[in-house]
Structure formats: C-alpha cells, structure tokens
A and B are shown apart, each in its own frame.
Chain A
C-alpha cells in the first residue's frame, strides 16, 4: 500500500470548514484513499473513501486531485466533537479477509470554540 504524508496537527475554529490534506504521491491506479478518525482513544471510525472522483457523505467531503497524488478531507462545519486524530490511508480494495488497514500517525485536528 502506498505511503501517505499528513501534517501532525491542525487547528480549526468551530463552525468553520476544516480542510485536512494528505499526500500520496506513489498511489497506484487501483488504490483507494480512505479516511478514518479516532476520537480520544476510542476505536477508529470510518469517514469516507474514494478512488478518483470527489465523494460526499453525511460526515464529510473528499476531494482527490486529478493526478491522484493528493487529497483533502473537508469537514464543512467543524464542531468541538470533531476534535480527533484523522488518518488518511491508501490501499487496494481487496475484498474481505486481507483487508488490513495500516495506520500512520495521522493529523490531530483541534476544533477551538
């Protein structure tokens, strides 16, 4: 699986959009970009994933550059409860038993009142 690079920490004001960047310059054509987050030592929580098109769900939006070498997770209206470590993970969609997520250090997003 391709390596990812994320800033170690970011701050965001409550109510504003949080834009979390991720570089994955060695990504292969069949690798997806997944985002998970971990709130204060709870279990990681799936947020969103995509291949090459931008994606949106009830939690966030994912913007992937045309060359797929980087992506941005957008939390449109950050709340204090969004304070967490956010992990960008690149992996091949394999199906089932060898679905192994490799977590990096992620970005600690702190949402300030």
Chain B
C-alpha cells in the first residue's frame, strides 16, 4: 500500500528556534493535512491544504505556523519560533479526491522543544 513519508522521525530544537517538518504525501493525492498529538492526549487537527492554499485551520494553528507545498511532492509545516508547548508528535496526512475518503497518515515526527 502507498505510504505518506515524514522526515525527520525525531527533531530536537531549542525554544525560539524555527523548525520545518517535512512530508511526502502519496503521489496522486490532492488534499493534505497536519495533525499533532501531545503525549497522552488526543490527535488534534491543525490545518488542511488544497490547491496551494489553506482550506481550514484550527485555533492551534496561529501565526507561528505555516504550511507550504514548495514543489510537486513535498508538504512542509514550519514553526517559526518554537515554544515548549509545541513539543508533540506531528502527523502529516493526505487524501485522494473521490473514492472512500480514506485519510492516509504518516508515521509522524516527534518534536521536542527544550
């Protein structure tokens, strides 16, 4: 089965630093998402992206966050100035138009802000 690929699997950064989390969605998918999961808590929606623009974002996705699809294959989440509370597992997901509406998730990037 095709996979969503995320890199790196672990990222450690200092508070206030910028981080970029990278994702390669499944090749024929057109809808892209970022979710996050703080340790021991629910999986939370951050943002959805389609046709090179944000479709919807949650209240978590403030001005410190941005997303980009810089080329035909990558989808990135940038956190401009990380805070301790940004420490979480970040999941990228993608969806093919039509069909089952089956969301495919990557294996995640564990972000630790020190």
Contact = CB atoms under 8 A, between A and B. Distances in A.
Contact of B55 (A42, A43, A98): A98
Contacts of B102: 46
Dominant secondary structure of chain A at its interface with chain B: loop
Contacts of A94: 101
A97 B105 contact: no
Nearest to A87: B43
A112 interface: no
Contacts of B105: 43-45
A95 B98 CA distance: 7
Contacts, number: 63
Interface of B: 4, 30-31, 33, 37, 42-45, 48, 50-51, 55-56, 89, 91, 93, 95, 97-98, 100-108
Given A41-B37, A41-B89, A44-B91, A96 B30 contact: yes
A99 B42 contact: no
B48 A46 contact: no
B108 A97 contact: no
Given A97-B31, A100-B48, A41 B101 contact: no
Most-contacted residue by chain B among A41, A93, A94, A102 (CB, 10 A): A41
A49 B105 CA distance: 16
B97 A103 contact: no
Contact of A97 (B56, B106, B107): B56
A1 to B, nearest CB: 12
B107 to A, nearest CB: 5
Given A45-B105, A103-B44, A96 B100 contact: no
Interface string A99-110: 111111100000
B22 to A, nearest CB: 15
B55 to A, nearest CB: 4
A42 B93 CA distance: 12
A51 B38 CA distance: 31
Nearest to A106: B42
A112 B87 CA distance: 32
